[in-house]
């Protein structure tokens, strides 16, 4: 398999965190997927896409437990 972005053949299965957004929050979902080691392009199979869609649906309905892992701060008034 060659990367569609950079044409590298260095694609490996890797643990990553996919991001989805809910309002102003970002939610990290741990998954294992194919990733180009050269440019970082990710490749999802149908099962993974379905899993991400199901999680996103559950997040929208508040049917999933979320843990706060930090916060983002913004400088204002400069």
Nearest-angstrom CA–CA distance, 66 and 68: 7
Q: Which pLDDT belongs to residue 73? A: 85
Reading the block at residue 76, the tokens are 């204002």
Q: Whole-prediction pTM value?
A: 0.78
Listed residue (40, 47, 48) closest to 5, CA to CA: 40
pLDDT digits (tens, 9 = 90+) for 31-65: 999 999 999 999 999 999 999 999 999 999 989 99
Using a CB cutoff of 8 Å and minimum separation of 24, what contacts does 69-77 make? 69/28
Q: Which pLDDT belongs to residue 74? A: 86
In the predicted model, is pLDDT for residue 17 greater than 90?
Answer: yes
If you count them, how many residues does the chain have?
Answer: 78
Listed residue (13, 73, 64) closest to 37, CA to CA: 13
């Amino acid at each position: 398999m060659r990367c569609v972005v950079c044409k590298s053949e260095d694609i490996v299965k890797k643990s990553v965190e996919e991001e989805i957004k809910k309002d102003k929050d970002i939610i990290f979902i741990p998954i294992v997927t194919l990733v180009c080691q050269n440019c970082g392009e990710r490749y999802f199979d149908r099962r993974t896409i379905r899993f991400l869609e199901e999680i996103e649906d559950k997040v929208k309905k508040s049917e999933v437990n979320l843990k706060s892992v930090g916060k983002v701060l913004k400088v204002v008034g400069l």
